[in-house]
Structure formats: structure tokens, C-alpha cells
Structure 1
């Protein structure tokens, strides 16, 4: 088995090469459709992160983190210590 990488500038030519490869029973490992899916996923993630950022930080929900942590934690005395 051999792996060949082909860079094509013209999208129509790329479609011809991909269809020829499939007709010759070759496996196409990557094409622009995959790149478009990655781009769409990236854009979706950017929207999600933007909405999270717009909500604000935990500083709004927890004004005093030290007091909050002391309240939440359930410390117990360590063995051999008072």
C-alpha cells in the first residue's frame, strides 16, 4: 500500500481526482469536506466560549472565595494534631 498526498488549487479538479480515486477503489483519507466540518465545529466552540464569557466569572457568584471555601470544605483534624 502507498499513500499519496495531492494538493489541488481548483475545487472542480479535486472532485474529479477524488471520484477517480474512489472508482479505482482507493481510500480517500482527507478532503475539503473534512476541513469544512472542522471549521464549523471551531465556529460552534467559539460561540459557546463567547456565551460563557458573557455570563461573567465566578467572582459575581462568589464574592469572597476564601470564606466560600471554608464554608464548603469539611476539614477534620489530622491524626496526631490538634
Structure 2
């Protein structure tokens, strides 16, 4: 998993399990919940990948891979 993200970006990589708020948009900050806290990133520069179980995106200084919590994945699968 970490190898996949490091191939996408030469910046520092953040790999977490959390809940990402959508929509994820280039030019706007991303918000995600991690350890009971809502965290705001700097502006998104590039969206690399969005799937049913994770999202990868890049900001000015960091590359993120957020693996969704199992509850969020179950909700997404029910909605589709």
C-alpha cells in the first residue's frame, strides 16, 4: 500500500484509515475525520484516485491515501 502512494508522489506520504468528506475538489481543501477529529488539509492540487475503499490525492506538501473505515465502505456499497 505505501509503495503505491510513494510511486505517485515524491512528497511526504500520509496513510490513514478515516472518513473523507466529499466532494473532493482540486483547488479546495479536503476534510477528513481521523481519531475523532475533523482535519483540514491545504488545497488539493491533484486527485489521483477515488475508489469504494480509498482515495488518493495530493496537496502542495503532502500526498494522502485515506482508507475508508469499514462502516463508511458498507454505507457506500449500499448506496450504489
TM range (shorter): under 0.3
TM-score (norm 1): 0.18
Larger Rg: 1
Query: TM-score, normalising length from structure 2?
Result: 0.18
Give 1 or 2: higher strand fraction.
2
Q: Please state which structure has a larger fraction of its residues in helix.
A: 1
